[in-house]
């Protein structure tokens, strides 16, 4: 089931068990593996982008990597691998739906990557893990990943020496595993406000910034 989806037959099953153990279940849990896996994932994705986009500059590569390794993107892969169903968690975390939470799923994915790396080495880890990112890599605009909305809005205002935008949390609703955030973005010159929604405050802020950009300059 899970091992088949992961695509690696572990020589040391204890590594996989630890990678799928949340700290709420006690030691040994996956936080140390998560620390290592974060760096391995960043290296694998950076290497893939570097090889695929020979003409892209550092800024484009950095933005593309950030898009591919962000929490929500890693959680999508974790769900495709069905990691949530295999997590070992404390009763409180399980009851609150922790096995569905983006942050816990993303951490577990990074821990699994580290477990594969420790079990079989870098080459084997690359062979197993890179295909997980293939769909996301293929979906990126080659060499020119767009800057996110908050960055574009900030740069637009800075270029005109105008005050930076303000972001205000309007509301927060839903259970821990299915929260919904509403954020208001305001700028002073010209005076504009817009609101955005999302499953995290960061996503809601991006949506609000994009809505302000639409009002400010639809061509952006």
The string of pLDDT tens digits covering residues 152-172 is: 899 889 989 999 999 999 998
Confidence of residue 218 (pLDDT cuts 50, 70, 90): very low
Note if 31 is an active site residue: no
Enter the tokens of residue 41.
């994932």
Closest CA to 69 of 77, 60, 57: 77
- The CATH 3.30.160.20 domain(s) of the chain lie at 149-216
**For the structural domain made of 2-139, what CATH number should be given?**
1.10.1520.10
Q: How many residues does the chain have?
A: 220
Active site residue 175: no
Of the candidates 38, 93, 102, 205, the residue annotated as catalytic is 38
Binding-site residue numbers for Mg(2+) are 34, 107, 110
For the chain, give every residue range classified as CATH 1.10.1520.10: 2-139
CA distance linking residue 166 with residue 177, whole number of Å: 27
Annotated binding-site positions: 34, 107, 110
pLDDT of 190 > 70? The answer is: yes
For 14-49, give the DSSP string.
HHHHHHTB-GGG-SS-SHHHHHHHHHHHHHHHHHHH
Fold of 149-216: Double Stranded RNA Binding Domain (3.30.160)
pLDDT tens readout for residues 19-57: 999 888 888 989 999 999 999 999 999 999 999 888 888
Catalytic choice (93, 110, 119, 205): 110
The reported pTM is: 0.65
């Amino acid at each position: 089931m899970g091992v088949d989806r992961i695509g690696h037959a572990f020589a040391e099953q204890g590594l996989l068990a630890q990678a799928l153990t949340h700290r709420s279940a006690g030691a040994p849990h996956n936080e140390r593996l998560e620390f290592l896996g974060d760096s391995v994932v960043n290296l694998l994705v950076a290497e893939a982008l570097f090889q695929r986009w020979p003409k892209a500059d550092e800024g484009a590569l950095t933005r593309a990597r950030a898009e591919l390794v962000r929490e929500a993107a890693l959680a999508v892969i974790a769900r495709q691998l069905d990691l949530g169903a295999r997590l070992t968690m404390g009763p409180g975390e399980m009851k609150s739906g922790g096995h569905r939470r983006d942050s816990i799923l993303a951490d577990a994915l990074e821990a699994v990557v580290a477990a594969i790396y420790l079990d079989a080495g870098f080459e084997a880890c690359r062979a197993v893990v890179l295909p997980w990112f293939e769909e996301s890599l293929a979906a990126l605009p080659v060499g020119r990943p767009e800057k996110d909305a908050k960055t574009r809005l900030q740069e637009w205002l800075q270029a005109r020496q105008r005050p930076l935008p303000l972001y205000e949390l309007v509301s927060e609703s839903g259970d821990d595993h299915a929260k919904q955030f509403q954020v208001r973005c305001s700028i002073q010159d010209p005076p504009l406000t817009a609101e955005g929604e999302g499953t995290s405050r960061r996503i809601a802020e991006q949506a609000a910034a994009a809505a302000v950009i639409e009002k400010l300059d639809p061509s952006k």
